[in-house]
Amino acid sequence: MGSWLEGKILADKIKEEVKQQAMQYKDTHGKVPGLVAVLVGENKSSQVYVRSKEKACQALGLFSEVQHYPSDTPPAILLEKIDELNRREEVDGILVQLPLPPHIDPQKIICAVSPDKDVDGLHPFSLGTILMNRVGFRPCTPLGVVELLKYNKIPIEGRDVVVVGRSILVGKSLAAMLTNENGTVTICHSKTRDLDKVCARADILIAAMGKAVFVKPEFVKPGAVVIDVGINSVSDPVKVKEYFGDDVKRQQDLQAKGYTLVGDVHPAAFERAGAMTPVPGGVGPLTIAMLMRNTLEAFKRRKGL
């Protein structure tokens, strides 16, 4: 059994740094970084995410705004609104909350965001800077993972790294970023043969496929670092007991909320890992912290600071 890699301490440190710099620029330049979130439709999870980002901006002294559009908004109208945000001087970062309604092509909308305001790091230009290992915005969750490893002095260079999941949002982006850090990276997915054996050779194992407890304890090499990016809800009492045993907090979650959260990694993998991120409280807090830092960086670059 190893140790827990909790993200909150690092997230709080990063947010405090952003707050202090934002205050400094307000005093010296009379301006603060500004973030606008674009929300389309009534997806409850998206609404929760956007509110949390708005609250983070307010707590750190950043300008924030939410533009909420009906789910039947035509793509052309949304593109017009993105163009307006690109031209607004007080807006440094534009965040298009995903998923979008089915009739809207998310890539077309993301590509419409000006690269210098792409604080989510999902524009093709931003993704290209990762592959070229040049300065640019990085997607917030992968950036949080890399920062968490560095903060805990976990070496990446020369290590065997396995990333399970190939989404642009996390898997592919993170694999490229870890390659830039000189890790030897393997990307796995649903078609990977002998997945358990591939994972079991990893010094650093990262699960980011969005499937609850997909990574079993036998996937983990004893002493490996395990980063669990997944967040899944489980409401079946039998499953909760299977995953967490008699954990009192999980039972309290189940009674109070009707569910508890579990990652893509089976909780029992902690018994084999050298270090592992908890769910919740591991990577999650860092995602918003990185968004705040990206917004500050966008402000500084646009103002030439």
- Residue that is written with structure tokens 């609404």 in the block: 47
Catalytic residue list contains 194: no
CB of 39 closer than 8 Å to CB of 67: yes
Q: Which of 15, 21, 53, 264 is catalytic?
A: 53
Peptide bond preceding 101: is omega within 30 degrees of 0, i.e. cis? no
Is 251 a residue of the active site? Answer: no
Let me know if 168 is exposed, middle or buried by CB neighbors in 10 A (0-12, 13-18, 19+).
middle
Residue 130 identity: I
CA–CA separation, 140 and 56 (whole Å): 14
Whether the CB-CB separation of 97 and 46 falls below 8 Å is answered with yes
Whether 105 is catalytic: no
**Distances, alpha carbon 270 to alpha carbons 1, 3, 148, 282, in Å:** 6, 8, 18, 13
Return the SS3 of 176. Answer: helix
Q: Which helix (H) or strand (E) holds 94?
A: strand 93-96
Pairing of strands 225-228, 3-4: unpaired
92, 116, 118, 120: the catalytic one is: 120
Question: Catalytic pick from 97, 172, 203, 253?
Answer: 97
Active-site positions read: 53, 97, 120
